């Protein structure tokens, strides 16, 4: 028998990752990099992470809009499964859990240390 604990469940769609979260990139060229989540696309299960997975965009000069031609670097999206949320309390990559508070609101918690991840 396992002891009773607070009910912890995982969100199926975006894995609970939200814009503004600190995450660590787990795979690819930028493995080990940490950054802030700039955007989440729950439908595609992708995220954009600050300074990670930079892609080069070739832009054409457009003098009327004061746009310079050349190569522009920009964050590319990556799969949510390739990143791990960083817990600010234990400062490690963690998986998310959810805790339901007595008033019914859900709080995201760190599965490692149990600390809340809400700001």
Stretch that binds Zn ion, among 14-22, 55-63, 67-75, 108-116 (CB under 5 A): 108-116
CB 6 → Zn ion: shortest distance, Å? 15
Query: Within 13 Å, how many C-alpha atoms sit on residue 46's CB side?
Result: 8
Q: How far apart are CA 63 and CA 81, in angstroms?
A: 41
Q: From the CA atom positions of the chain, what is the Rg in Å?
A: 18
Select 8 or 89, whichever has its Cβ closest to Zn ion: 89
Note whether 55 binds Zn ion by CB under 5 A. Answer: no
Six token digits for residue 56: 């080069």
| φ/ψ (deg, to 5) at 65 | -100, 10
Q: 58-97 mask for Zn ion (x: CB under 5 A)?
A: -----------------------------x-xx-------
Q: How far apart are CA 43 and CA 81, in angstroms?
A: 13
Select 48 or 83, whichever has its Cβ closest to Zn ion: 83
CA dihedral 9, 15, 20, 25 (to 10 degrees): 120
CB 95 → Zn ion: shortest distance, Å? 10
| Contact positions vs Zn ion (CB under 5 A) | 87, 89-90, 110, 112-113, 115
């Amino acid at each position: 028998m396992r002891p009773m604990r607070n009910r912890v469940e995982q969100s199926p769609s975006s894995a609970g990752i939200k814009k503004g979260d600190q995450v660590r990139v787990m795979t690819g060229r930028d493995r080990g990099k940490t950054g802030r989540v700039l955007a989440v696309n729950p439908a595609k299960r992708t995220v954009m992470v600050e300074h990670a997975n930079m892609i080069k965009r070739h832009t054409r000069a457009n003098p009327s809009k004061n746009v310079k031609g050349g190569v522009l670097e920009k964050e590319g999206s990556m799969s949510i499964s390739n990143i791990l949320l960083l817990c600010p309390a234990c400062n490690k990559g963690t998986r998310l859990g959810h805790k339901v508070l007595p008033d019914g609101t859900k709080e995201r918690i760190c599965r490692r240390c149990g600390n809340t991840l809400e700001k």
